[in-house]
Copies of this chain bind each other. A is one copy, B any other.
Amino acid sequence: MKFEILKTDGKARAGKLETGHGVVETPVFMPVGTQGSVKAIEHRELEGIGAGIILGNTYHLYLRPGTELIRTAGGLHNFIGWKRTILTDSGGYQVFSLNDLRTIEEKGVTFKSHLDGSVHVFTPETVVGIQRELGSDVMMVLDECAPFPCDREYASKSNELTVRWAERCKGEFERSKPLYGHSQALFGIVQGSIYPDLREQSVRSLVGMEFDGYAIGGLAVGESAGEMYRMLEITEPFLPREKPRYLMGVGTPVNLLEAVGRGIDMFDCVLPTRNGRNAYLFTRHGSLNLRNSKYKTDLTPPDAKCDCYTCTHFSRAYLRHLFLVREIVGLQLATIHNLSFYLWLMQQARAAVFEKRYDVWKRSMLSQLEPDESVMSLN
A residues engaging B (CB < 8 A)? Answer: 35-44, 60, 64-65, 69, 72-73, 79-81, 296-297, 299, 309, 313-315, 317-318, 321-322, 324-325, 327-333
Contact = CB atoms under 8 A, between A and B. Distances in A.
Given A37-B328, A39-B329, A44-B313, 17 more contacts: A35-B322, A35-B325, A36-B322, A37-B322, A40-B332, A42-B332, A44-B309, A64-B321, A65-B317, A65-B324, A69-B296, A72-B297, A72-B299, A73-B315, A80-B318, A81-B315, A328-B328
Contact of A39 (B40, B65, B328): B328
Contacts of A315: 73, 79, 81
List the 4 closest pairs (A to B, CB-CB), nearest first: A40-B328, A37-B327, A37-B329, A65-B321
A318 B42 contact: no
A225 B296 CA distance: 44
Given A81-B314, A332-B332, A321 B36 contact: yes
Nearest to A45: B42
19 contacts: A35-B325, A35-B327, A36-B327, A39-B328, A39-B329, A40-B328, A40-B332, A43-B313, A60-B325, A65-B317, A65-B321, A65-B324, A69-B296, A69-B317, A73-B299, A73-B315, A73-B317, A328-B331, A328-B332
Contacts of A37: 322, 327-330
Contacts of A322: 35-37
A241 to B, nearest CB: 38
A317 B42 contact: no
A329 B40 contact: yes
Contacts of A332: 40, 42, 328, 332
Given A296-B69, A299-B72, A329 B41 contact: yes
A135 to B, nearest CB: 15
A81 B322 CA distance: 13
Contacts of A329: 37-42
B328 A69 contact: no
Contacts of A39: 327-329
Contacts of A331: 328
Contacts of A321: 35-36, 64-65, 69
B42 A333 contact: yes
B64 A324 contact: yes
A111 B65 CA distance: 48
B79 A317 contact: yes
A325 B64 CA distance: 8
A333 B36 CA distance: 14
Nearest to A40: B328
A81 B328 contact: no
A245 B60 CA distance: 51
B328 A297 contact: no
Given A64-B324, A297-B72, A325-B64, A42 B80 contact: no
A72 B318 CA distance: 12
A324 B66 CA distance: 12
A41 B72 CA distance: 31
Question: Of A299, A321, A322, which is in contact with the most chain B CB atoms at under 10 Å from its CB?
Answer: A321
A318 B79 contact: yes
A204 to B, nearest CB: 39
Nearest to A296: B69
A103 B43 CA distance: 49
Contacts of A333: 42
Nearest to A310: B42
A44 B39 CA distance: 19
Nearest to A44: B309
